[in-house]
Amino acid sequence: MSQDRALTALVVPCYNESARLRPGQFLDFLGRHPEVHLLLVDDGSRDETWAMLEEIRAREPQRIVTLRMEQNRGKAEAVRQGVLKVLEGGPSQGGSFGLVGYWDADLSTPLSTLPLFLEVFAERPDCRLVMGSRVRLLGRRIVRRPLRHYLGRVFSTFASLSLDLPVYDTQCGAKLFRADDDLRAVFSSSFSDPWLFDVEILSRFRALWGPEAENRIVELPLPVWEDVGGSKIRLRDGFRAGLSLAMIWLRRMRSEGRPTGSV
């Protein structure tokens, strides 16, 4: 199987998503892309999410697996458990996965952009991670509320400084990884923050690869991204975000043997 047709698994974390889930879009996409499988994770939802996920699975049981977490443990753990399940051998019915990623359940990043991610892996054998990036450019449709956009830019600037990586957008919920031992190592232990785990993933890769991380991670400007609404992140989470970034920076300084007073 060629790399651009590598068997691919997408983990979709869901928490109280019954009002935003669009089953038809998932199923239509699978119909056009036989190399893609889905692992739908219910993170202890209290609405009808689990029933909806089971209905979706029943329509394509050979390529969709559901995973139910009895208690809400946050997006980070839902994604981590899903990725580990894929790496352990599920949900494929036809061989091991070459690529595994996670995708927001609201499809703010349309599934139709996934082939663009696959093209990067096909063109860049050295690439280990492709990240969707919400860059507002002419000819692209990136729809974000202004306040969230500007706060996101501030956050990304500090995240880039904390990681010592020139990253533009750490928080886009569309990421695809090469399934290998490094990915297994990155996801082997729980993340410290349920929402900022994207930054922690980059931090762990940075620790594994050092400066080579810049050559193994690719940010892909998305052609389309639209804020669907109903986000569970609130402005007060910004204070916790700042603390989490500081802790990531401190861990990096210590791992590199540098005094924490340095920049």
Residue 153: pLDDT band (50, 70, 90) is: confident
First to last CA, the chain: 46
pLDDT-derived band at 84 (thresholds 50, 70, 90) equals very high
What pLDDT does residue 149 have? 78
pLDDT at 252: 64
Half-sphere exposure of 20 (CA within 13 A, CB side): 17
pLDDT confidence tier of residue 2, bands split at 50, 70 and 90: very low
What is the pLDDT averaged over residues 150-178? 90
CA angle 8, 186, 33 (to 5 degrees): 10
pLDDT digits (tens, 9 = 90+) for 35-70: 999 999 999 999 999 999 999 999 999 999 999 999
| Model pTM score | 0.87
Q: In this predicted structure, what is the pLDDT of residue 242?
A: 64
- Confidence at 237, pLDDT banded by 50, 70, 90: low
CB 109 within 8 A of CB 174: yes
> CA-to-CA distance for 96 and 92, rounded, in angstroms?
7
CA distance 26 to 262: 48
Cβ proximity of 99 and 129 under 8 Å: no
DSSP codes, the chain? --GGG--EEEEEEESS-TTT--HHHHHHHHHH-TTEEEEEEEES-SSSHHHHHHHHHHHSTTTEEEEEESS---HHHHHHHHHHHHHTT-S-SSS--SEEEEE-TT-SS-GGGHHHHHHHHHH-TT--EEEEE----TT-EEE--HHHHHHHHHHHHHHHHHHTS--S-S--SEEEEE-SHHHHHHTSS--S-SSSHHHHHHHHHHHHHGGGHHHHEEEEE-SEEE--S--S--TTHHHHHHHHHHHHHHHHHHHTT--TT--
Confidence at 202, pLDDT banded by 50, 70, 90: very high
CATH level 2 (architecture), domain 3-143+169-228: Alpha-Beta Complex (3.90)
Which tokens sit at 98?
Answer: 């070459």
Give the model's pLDDT for residue 150.
79
Lowest mean pLDDT among 74-83, 97-106, 142-151: 142-151
Question: Is the backbone peptide bond immediately before 110 cis, with ω within 30 degrees of 0?
Answer: no
Please choose, from the candidates 6, 36, 8, 212, the residue with its C-alpha nearest in 3D space to the C-alpha of residue 122: 6
Confidence check: pLDDT of 233 > 60: no
Averaged over 233-239, what is the pLDDT?
A: 55
Q: How do the domains of the chain map onto residue ranges?
A: 3-143+169-228
pLDDT of residue 236: 56
Mean pLDDT of the chain: 88
What burial class does residue 227 get, using C-beta atoms within 10 Å of its C-beta: 0-12 exposed, 13-18 middle, 19+ buried?
middle
